[in-house]
Amino acid sequence: MSDILVSSQWLAEHLDDDLVVVDTRPKVAYMYGHIPNSVSITVEQVISINEHGAHLVPEPDVLSGLFGASGIDMDKTVIVAGEAMDPSLARVAWTLQYLGHENLKILDLGISAWQNTGLAMTRMQPKMATTKFVPNINSQMRIRAEELKEKLGSVQILDARTPQEFFGGHLPGSVLIPFTDGIGQSNIFESKDNLKRLFEQKNVLTDREIICYCMHGHRASSLFYQLKHAGFDNVRLYDGSFIDWYSRRFPLQ
């Protein structure tokens, strides 16, 4: 499992292993049916909304309590699952990795597609033993507004929003790549080759630092993992994104 993605076949064969499947869909969808032995963690649980409406990473102790209560520790393999067009999946996965969880994978297809292929679903909620999640922040995955402002002109900034949002105002020098461009028809992401072609067409360079942003940092999280899947290593998320940038009255184009 060297790639960020894990196949549905692999997961179906390892559901009884010592791993945690995280369902990132809304709680109601989880209650109506989910992958066996999966726990529910929604995007609302992994963000802290500031006074300007920016969706930021909460304090580590808040997240360590959430993840520990879900049976996650640093030794567990974690598989994050959701729906392809819902970037909540990527934001939850990014948050876990930002807090230092390295043994993490994303299910390569949406839970609806999982169900449509005839794989097992259940309404039974597992009783997870509480663990101790000790954060080890990976600062290379995140960038804050002040640092990004200082780096304008020296980094590649990718905007994961819609064209309408982009042309209404964007960070200086940013390139529009809607996160939906990298979503597959039935899979979470397009193939590696298709993603590489997409980023080549947008002149995204492997030798420069890449910053992803959107409105609240959710869609940018999906773009973050699309880049990772395509083989880009030097990628960071601006989780505050446009709302945070605009509230600081930093320059726009």
CATH 3.40.50.720 assigned to domain 140-248? The reply is: no
Region class of 56: left (phi > 0), else alpha (psi between -120 and 50), else beta: beta
pLDDT tens digits along 169-204? 999 999 999 999 999 877 899 999 999 999 999 999
* Whether pLDDT at 54 is above 60: yes
Per-residue tokens: 151: 């780096």
Strands 55-56 and 77-81, bridge-based pairing: unpaired
pLDDT digits (tens, 9 = 90+) for 16-42: 888 999 999 999 999 999 999 999 999
CB of 203 within 8 A of CB of 176? Answer: no
The CATH superfamily label for domain 5-137 reads: Rhodanese-like domain (3.40.250.10)
Count how many Cα atoms sit within 13 Å of the Cα of residue 248 in the half-sphere of its side chain: 17
Instruction: List every span in the chain annotated with CATH 3.40.250.10.
Output: 5-137, 140-248
Distances (CA, A) of 51 to 55, 143, 211, 245, 248: 10, 19, 24, 13, 12
